Amino acid sequence: MLRDMTGKLVRYSTQKSVDVGYRATYPEFDGCVGLVTHYTPVGKHDGKSHATIDWVNPRPKRGDNGREIFSSHFSLDRFDVIGE
Please say whether the beta carbons of 56 and 36 come within 8 A.
no
Please say whether the beta carbons of 46 and 75 come within 8 A.
yes
Q: Residue 80, SS3?
A: strand
* pLDDT tens per residue, range 22-57: 877 888 899 999 999 999 998 888 888 999 999 998
Query: Structural domain boundaries of the chain?
Result: 9-83
Q: What is the chain's mean pLDDT, rounded?
A: 88
Alpha helices in the chain (DSSP H): 14-19
- The pTM score is 0.84
Tell me how far apart the alpha carbons of residues 29 and 60 are, in angstroms, rounded to a whole number. Answer: 6
Q: Using the 8-state DSSP alphabet, how is residue 22 labeled?
A: -
User: One-letter amino acid identity for 7?
Assistant: G
Q: Which residues pair with 18 in a beta bridge?
A: none
Percent of the chain clearing pLDDT 70 (strictly above)? 98
pLDDT at 1 over 50: no
